[in-house]
Amino acid sequence: MSNLVFVINGPNLNLLGGREPEIYGQTTLDDIRQIATDSADSAGLSIDFRQSNEEGALVDWIQEASRDAAGLIINGAGYTHTSVAIMDALLASAVPVIEVHLSNIYKREEFRHHSYISRAAQGVICGFGADVYTLAILAMSKLLESDKA
Ligand code: DQA
């Protein structure tokens, strides 16, 4: 089985580092890509790390992950709370999905408490800043190991 995991990031996450640092911290998306790559190396996984501001691109990548990868980690950003299209793509996906958010969405405005992505996710990790990516890679490696057993 492939050990490739897609890590898909949604809108405005390209601005990390400068965007509302009191909420999202100083870490840039490039820093997160490096952290995720190192975590994947340690877990014996390889990752394909992507970001788009466009809903359709995210849907296409979810479909691609379902065909080509063993698992999918997604930070849907704002689309988490609005996108039936992303939820449908994830529900159609053949691979395990882990949802991540840098911030604790349940501690924030009420409109962030609902996630369409959660309906399709095996689990959700939020509120630990950039560490959510490391935690998700660890969780994904355990899921994929147990699938092999
Ligand atoms: C986010 C939380 C979302 O509510 C928000 O729209 C984002 C980032 C997070 O990582 O904390 O853009 O997904």
Instruction: Give the CATH number, domain containing residue 64.
Output: 3.40.50.9100
Q: How far is CA 107 from CA 10, 64, 114, 126, in A?
A: 20, 33, 12, 10
Q: What mean pLDDT, rounded, does the chain reach?
A: 96
More confident residue, 149 or 123: 123
Q: Name the nearest CA neighbour of 2 among 68, 95, 94, 92.
A: 68
**Structural domain that includes position 26:** 4-148
Query: Strands across the sheet with 46-51, in order?
Result: 46-51, 4-9, 71-75, 97-101, 123-126
Range list of β-strands (E), 24-66: 46-51
Judge whether residue 1 has pLDDT over 60: no
Distance 20 CA to ligand 1 centre (A): 11
Domain total in the chain = 1
Q: How confident is the model at residue 13 (pLDDT cuts 50, 70, 90)?
A: very high
Chain segment 56-106, per-residue pLDDT in tens: 999 999 999 999 999 999 999 999 999 999 999 999 999 999 999 999 999
Which helix (H) or strand (E) element contains residue 100? Answer: strand 97-101
Identify the pLDDT of residue 148.
75
**Which residue in 79, 81, 101, 116 is the catalytic one?**
101
Active site residue 113: no
